[in-house]
Structure 1
Amino acid sequence: MMKQFYLTILIFFVGLCLAFGQSLKGIVTDHQKRGIEGAYILHVQTGNHVHTSLTGEFVFVGVKTGDTLQVSHLGYQTQQVLVEDLTSELIVRMKQVFVSLDEIQISPTIEALELFSTIDIQTNPVNSSQEVLRKVPGLIIGQHAGGGKAEQIFLRGFDIDHGTDINITVDGLPVNMVSHAHGQGYADLHFLIPETVDGLSFGKGPYHASQGNFATAGFVAFKTKDRLDNSQLKLEVGEFDTQRLLGMFNVLDTERQTVYLASEYLATDGPFDSPQYFDRINLMGKYTSRLPNNDKLSVLASYFTSQWDASGQIPQRAVDDGSISRFGAIDDTEGGQTSRTNLLADHVHTIKPDAFIKNSVYFSSYDFELYSNFTFFLTDPVNGDQIKQKESRKLFGMNSEFNQQFDWGNSQGRLQAGVGLRKDQSSGNELSHTANRRETIEQLKLGEIHETNLNAYINAAFDFGKWTINPAIRIDYFKFNYNDELQDSYLKQAESQAIVSPKLNILYHSSDWLQLYAKFGKGFHSNDTRGVVAQNGQEILPAAYGSDLGLIWKPMSSMMVNLAYWYLFLEQEFVYVGDEGVVEPSGKTRRTGLDLSLRYQPLSWLFWDLDANYTLARATEEADGEDYIPLAPDFTLISGLSVVHPEGWYGGLKLRHINDRPANEDNSIVAAGYSVIDFNVGHQWPVFDVSLSIQNLLDTKWNETQFATETRLQNEANPVEEIHFIPGTPRFIKISVAYKF
């Protein structure tokens, strides 16, 4: 049936192309003859445009001999090409240059905002796991365990916890874990070696049909490199007994095939009074082949393992009375270990220069064990309240997407149609009451989870002069199965539900300097399987409804600005419950806000970036004054200066600011905001690279993660509800030396 659908669509658009004038086939490549995906090709005489496919190919209808095409792509020198012959393929070889805002033109594409993160990566490459997610404009993270756990994420007035309302992938491989032992949507990205990141796609809001579960506040899709520019060894040494060793090696690098290996080892004790003994190992290999007929095959394999001790979140009162320092602990036996093995294969089959099918299959084997103590001696005054969360998971799935560009007359269009399957099998999914990471006092939950997600979507874009209309629809079907292994008899509980998510994006391309847009869409996040079966399948796929009104503007050739007003309504929110160490669903919420992003290049080697975000977030079913959403930030600011000098010097200053925010529903407890400045400087030679970085340059006292939690210390008669926090890193100096060959 799917083959018949693809064939029908293909025949229809081939007919359209044959009906309207002559066409020009071409390919855009880099200096090594590798196809460049997403190059923007403008017909100078008519203003029409097309984009290159994954393999760099394009077809342009309505072109005649003597016409001029302008070819551009971020990071390459813009070219003017004269069409001299329509009977042979046009080959455009682009010269790679350092990013220049002067050369960037705002093209009528729905993903124009990605320019901002692409600029950031080129001007300040990613060198740590924390920096990976920070490349998303307006996104702020906090770490619970010095690199052991997934980061806490803040975006658009959300405390997303570890990933409940943001969809994260790497080369199409899902990062979020459904029905995870620690929290719904848990997204541990530490298996990604930062230096292998080639770029990222991102979007804020539920407006992208290819993005499904958790894509309410937005999505982030990382892409790893197909090849390395060179092999390298890197050694990093820093305070708190920190060491990092990186190795990246070109094994095969020809015009049609590449193989590289990458490995990373990281160890640190952290600034805490009780050393963290944190260590992480990453291994990765990737093979890419350009097959005959411009097909492409990629195979990626990776392995990640990590273990750590943690001091946990501590009560403010214990610091104030001198019982512990800011870097002390109430229970320093917290910590954990985790590992993940990934296999991923992608195949792009070119049907013709303007049509292709991308198929991918993936598999992950995942283990997780975490010990936490959120309430100390509140529930068990003798043994304490330590809990263990543990699971072993097998995750596998596939995606297939058909892409077609088409033309009729002076208009163009694009079509995507995709289907996907994801299957999670979590065994030994456990929550237990423990003591000292040795003794299991009571098993509170133990079960086996099978969760299946089937999806299909159609996404189209139609260009009408200066207008682009992008309607889309997505359908997701979920099957939830749970076997409670604490019951005396075997009983499998099952529920299922489907959700339909329509989208509509409208762009007005006023000029190469200004684009206006309006976006409307529905998204969702699924609930934990254990909650789904407990609710008998009621309200298990809460929807999100959003809209964006904004512009992308170049007020001058060296500056880009994005400004958006947005709205997002959620049928169900998730709220952190400190006394149980879990998140649980609550009522409906509404958020409105303003996003401002600015990139400015006053000199060829100097860049300024600014991301400011204001949000008003409220629960809609609560009384005034009791409708605050705990830990939802109302104002965040990220700004920095970056230097990339042609003589080899580079560096920068980066400010991260988050405002005071409510820690509970009536705002009687406040999570303190902070402003932290990071600094780095370095120099590149042909084969050596030496750099110095200083995190928290001004040695600011700040709380990285905070919660309003009711706890009782061992010497207290009554519990106290107040702020509990993980202290932010004090001034931290690190030196890096890299050798390239």
Structure 2
Amino acid sequence: MCKYFMILLLLVTSVCFSQSKNISGTLKDSSTRHPIAEATIIREPSGFSDISDARGKFSFRAPGAIDTLLISAVGFQTRAIPANSIRNGQIIFLQPRAVQLADVVITGNTTNPYKAISETDIRLRGVSNSQEVLRIVPGLFIGQHQGGGKAEQIFLRGFDNDHGTDIRLSVDGMPVNMVSHAHGQGYADSHFIIPETIASATYKKGMYDAEKGDLAVTGFVDFHTADHIDNLVKLEAGQYNTYRALAIVNLLGQQQQQKDRTWYAAGEYRYSNSYFDHPQYFQRANFFTKYNGKLNAHNTLSLSAASMYSTWNASGQIPESAVNSGLIGFYGALDPKEGGITSRTHINAQLATTLTNHDLITNQVYYTYYNFDLHTNFTFFLEDSINGDEIRQREKRNMAGYNGSYLHQGYWGNTQLITEAGINLRVDQTYNSALLHTMDRYTLLNPLKLGDIGESAAGIYANETFHFNNRFTLNAGLRYDQLYYRYNNKLAEDSAFSGTGTYRAQNYTISPKLNFYYQAAPHLQFYLFTGKGFHSNDARVVVAQHGAETLPAAYGSDLGTVFKPVKNLLLNAAVWYSYLQKEFVYGGDGGTVAFSGRTRRIGFDLSARYQPGQSIYIDADLNYANGRSLDDPAGQRYIPLAPAWSSTGGITGIFKNGINGSLRYRWLGNRPANADYSLTAEGYFINDVVLNYTQKKYEIGLTINNLFNVKWKETQFETVTRLKNEAPADGIAFTPGTKFAALLHFSHFF
């Protein structure tokens, strides 16, 4: 039924596209000659607007008089161009300038309410490390409980997303999340991204976009790497034997860049013992290269490749009781054998084809080889009082996929229509995915899970956006996802299965979306989002349940506003609701399946960006979420570790003499650690500071994490633990957050 509806939708809209637009152009940066995406083009005096696409292209149909095109983009000078002086297909150059909130324009056809905030934040704050890559999203908190080598735990909108269960991450259209992962569903290790290569980030909260499928429940984050970066060498050194070296080199000359061809390579190496009593010996090497160039007038090819290798020791999670008794210090360790090795290598190819009517066809293929080997001990001597409870989780993975889309803009009468249809294909194959009871990392005591996983996913979607006038826009989307699972169980002792052999299952889901946008005033937009989403579950769960009830639905709604009461103040506010059905969840640390019933979350988000002067920028985000389980008894309905109150913010200064920097804070309130709130995961308030002196050819800087040296707990869990020769105890186990940590850096641009 879904497939027929989508075909009908495409046929109807293709009939409607009988009118062609007669004003079109391409926006480019005057200094780099690169396309400018997400710029706003307003037709005066009608007020109708368009947004430039990833190619920098815009186009209008002109039913009436157009005196002027007003073009604005964050980080560029606004231009007013007489419409009669523009030739169709003309290239229009914008002059770069310092970021000004006055350049942010709110229009009725802006369908991403976070667009302005994301553009200004990443340009002003940037990202200095792989953790900051995720913190760019307002309201998103992360926690590291292996000191930097393991993927971060992610919190957003009252969800403990674990390492990515309900948030979808991608880079240049390629998924970061790993399904049916040895450690947990949706495991998203973004450490292969070199922060300095990120040009922009697109994100939305909620489950309201048809082009996003599996895992996009609390939202999605798409990182986009730069097509061109100036030559750069950067050296960093700081406390706890922390070092980093980075180099970015352009591989094509200026003449090729003038022909819209760029190619660069970036490499980094990091080392740190970290702030724990037990040295981490953490090291990671990253390499990334990207080519982007025109093949001809209608085709642009982007090729990228990356490789990451990381190894570390870890202090892991320690019981509060062991610290309180004086057995170990706040930064101590109970099992010095924890740690891991992980690597990821991928290639990514994207071809963008522009048709003669300005339609856009994109084709993308990608391949990733991934290796994961993690050694942890959460319970110490609870299960094995002699050898300890150390576990080893490992897998080798091949992941390949294809993304294709078609984008068409046209008119039905005076209503502008934007149609997008696409297909997503993905195949994951793991080998010897294992959960093993071990000692001294590699001595096998008892295998708990062992097998090969095959998972395939196919999704199709259609998206229709109606710009009825310069005030009202409607977006309707529909998505269909079909998933296939295969598990080859190699362990006869695994009680979840009747024996060794191959087990199969499949399931599917249909996800409708409906979104409304209303421009109430020139600087005020309201929006209402509604939709259904989902997250898949581990293949080992699905085949054991024969596919039944293993693709639970998530329903949500947002009511919000984007408001500029004055030219240098930007506000974004929303109240939201989400509801999740029952689901089966595979616990990678124990190889068990946990059942959870229905949940309901209600909350609000508030973001403010204020620029009191040209050189000062102030930002603040305040978030609240009330989450409860609906099927548990009264008094036991709290959702463990779900954040309630949280806030981030800071002040940034960028001065003409080259001095720039920021002072930032992060506050996470207390939250329940278990269902009856008898245990509390303690909140924290910490500050970070960055100071730089930047000139044309170099930059000298200082970064300080935890400026006031607060003792804080970065991650916390209710855990039953047993220390050697002691009785079991139920309480909080935690990983301490960083101490005061200063890091100097020097960068040379050439």
Question: Shorter-chain TM-score category?
Answer: over 0.9
SS at match of 1:540: coil
- Distance change in 2, residues 1:240/1:498 (3 Å): same
CA contact (8 A) 1:358 1:400 kept: yes
Partner of 2:107: 107
- Counterpart amino acid of residue 150 in structure 1: A
Structure 2 partner of 1:335: 339
**Inter-CA distance 242–467: structure 2 relative to 1 (3 Å threshold):** same
Instruction: State the Cα distance separating 1:132 from its structure 2 match.
Output: 0.5
Offset at residue 542 of structure 1 (A): 1.0
Identify the residue that residue 248 of structure 2 maps to in structure 1.
248
After TM superposition, give the deviation of residue 699 of structure 1 in Å.
0.4
**Inter-partner Cα distance in structure 1 for 2:160 and 2:465:** 33
The aligned residue for residue 543 of structure 1 is: 553
The 1:85/1:647 distance shift into structure 2, 3 A limit, reads closer
Q: 1:15 to 1:124 in 2, by over 3 A?
A: same
Q: Is the 8 A contact 2:38 2:73 kept in 1?
A: yes
Partner of 2:739: 730
Q: 642, 648, 658: which is aligned to 1:638?
A: 648
Show the 5 A alignment for 1:705-716. Answer: 705-716=715-726
CA contact (8 A) 2:455 2:539 kept: yes
Q: What does 1:167-316 correspond to in 2, within 5 Å?
A: 167-228=168-229, 230-252=230-252, 253=254, 254-255=257-258, 256-316=260-320
Partners of 2:184 and 2:586 within 8 A in 1: no
Q: TM-score, normalised by structure 2?
A: 0.95
CA contact (8 A) 1:23 1:86 kept: no
Q: Please identify, of 184-193 and 48-57, the stretch whose mean Cα deviation from structure 2 is larger.
A: 48-57
Query: 1:183, 1:583 within 8 Å by CA — same for their partners in 2?
Result: no
Distance 1:57 1:63, change over 3 A: farther
- SS of equivalent to 1:84: helix
1:380 is matched with 384
Q: SS at 2:121's partner residue?
A: helix
> The residue matched to 2:251 in structure 1 has which SS?
strand
Matched, 1:16 2:19: yes
1:492-515: per-residue Cα shift (whole Å, max 9, x none)? 111111100000010001233100
Is 2:18–2:410's contact at 8 Å kept on the other side of the alignment?
A: no
Question: How big is the shift at 1:383?
Answer: 0.3
Corresponding residue for 2:128?
127
Identity %: 43
1:484 to 489, 500, 507: 489
Greater CA drift, 25-34 or 646-655: 25-34
| Contact 1:279-1:306 within 8 A present in 2 as well | yes
Q: Report the 3-state secondary structure (helix = DSSP H, G, I; strand = E; otherwise coil) of the residue aligned with 2:18.
A: helix
Structure 1 residues 471-480 or 403-412, which shifts more?
Answer: 403-412
Cα distance per residue 1:460-493 (max 9 Å; x no partner): 1101221100010110000010010113975211
Contact 1:354 1:406 in 2 (8 A): no
Q: Which residue of 2 aligns with 1:59?
A: 59
Q: Which amino acid aligns with 1:724?
A: A
Change (3 A) 1:104 1:179: same
Name the CA distance, whole Å, in 2 between partners of 1:642 and 1:737. 20
In the other structure, the counterpart of 1:475 is: 480
Offset of residue 140 of structure 1: 0.8
SS in 1 for 2:638: coil
**1:25 counterpart residue number:** 24
Q: Is the 8 A contact 1:588 1:620 kept in 2?
A: yes
2 CA distance for matches of 1:581 and 1:720?
A: 22
How much does 1:585 deviate?
4.0
Query: Retained in 1: the 8 A contact 2:145–2:715?
Result: yes
Distance 1:133 1:88 in 2: 40
Q: Which residue of the partner structure matches residue 505 of structure 1? A: 515
Give yes or no for contact 1:64–1:83 (8 Å, CA) kept in 2: no
C-alpha RMSD over aligned residues: 2.0
Query: Which residue number corresponds to residue 467 of structure 2?
Result: 463
Pick closer, same or farther for the CA change 1:89–1:220 going to 2, 3 Å: closer
Paired residues of 2:341 and 2:373 also in contact (CA < 8 A): yes
1:449 equivalent in structure 2 = 453
C-alpha displacement of 1:16: 3.1
Using the TM superposition, give the Cα deviation of residue 408 of structure 1 relative to its aligned residue in structure 2, in angstroms. 3.7
The answer to whether the 8 A contact 1:55-1:294 is kept is no
What whole-Å deviation, never above 9, does each CA across 1:354-378 have from its counterpart, x for those lacking one? Answer: 3101110000000000001011000
1:46 aligned residue: 46
Amino acid at match of 1:505: N
Structure 2: distance between partners of 1:577 and 1:493 = 19
C-alpha distance in 2, partners of 1:477/1:592? 30
Q: Report if aligned partners of 1:48, 1:411 keep a CA contact under 8 Å in 2.
A: no
Match of residue 162 from structure 1: 163
The 1:313/1:102 distance shift into structure 2, 3 A limit, reads same
C-alpha contact (below 8 Å) 2:185/2:586 kept by paired residues: no
CA contact (8 A) 2:537 2:584 kept: no
Counterparts of 1:467 and 1:375, CA distance in 2: 56
| Structure 1 residue matching 2:284: 3-state secondary structure | strand
Once residues 588 and 451 of structure 2 are traced to their aligned partners in structure 1, the CA distance between those partners, rounded to angstroms, is 23
User: Shift of the alpha carbon at 1:644?
Assistant: 1.1
Distance 1:4 1:385, change over 3 A: closer
The range that moved more, 333-342 or 3-12, is: 3-12
Distance 1:353 1:295 in 2: 14
Aligned pair 1:557/2:567, yes or no?
yes
Per the alignment, in what secondary structure is the counterpart of residue 297 of structure 2? helix
Per-residue deviation, residues 31-60 of structure 1 (Å, max 9, x unmatched): 143332232221112222222233222321
Aligned residues: 735
**One-letter amino acid of the structure 1 residue matched with residue 614 of structure 2:** S
AA matched with 2:709: D
Matches within 5 A, 1:679-690: 679-690=689-700
Which residue of structure 1 aligns with residue 496 of structure 2?
Answer: none
The residue that corresponds to 1:390 in the other structure is: 394
Match of 1:405 among 403, 406, 409: 409
| Closer, same or farther: CA 7–641 of 1 in aligned 2, 3 Å | closer
Separation of aligned partners in 2, 1:127 and 1:368: 25
Give yes or no for contact 1:30–1:93 (8 Å, CA) kept in 2. yes
CA distance in 1: counterparts of 2:482 and 2:356, whole angstroms: 32
SS at match of 2:620: strand
Instruction: Give the whole-Å Cα distance in 1 for the aligned partners of 2:504 and 2:149.
Output: 33
Deviation at 1:740, TM superposition (A): 0.7
Give secondary structure in 2 for the equivalent of 1:131.
helix
CA, structure 1 residues 585+249, in 2 after alignment: closer, same or farther (shift >3 Å)? farther
1:87 Cα deviation after fit:
6.2
Query: What's 1:149 paired with?
Result: 150
* Distance in 2 between residues matched to 1:584 and 1:246, nearest whole Å: 43
- Are the counterparts in 1 of residues 147 and 315 from structure 2 also a CA contact under 8 Å? no
Deviations 1:63-93 (A, max 9, x none): 6776211112222111111122576543321
Determine if contact 1:578/1:709 at 8 Å carries over to the other structure.
no
Say which SS state the counterpart of residue 419 (structure 2) adopts: strand
SS at match of 1:163: coil
Using the alignment, how far apart are the partners of 1:625 and 1:166 within structure 2? 28
Q: Normalising by structure 1, report the TM-score.
A: 0.96
CA apart distance, 1:148:
0.5
Q: Is the 8 A contact 1:24 1:90 kept in 2?
A: no
Shift of the alpha carbon at 1:565?
0.4
Partners of 1:504 and 1:336 lie apart in 2 by: 44
- Shift, 1:353, TM fit: 5.3
Q: Secondary structure at the match of 2:19?
A: helix
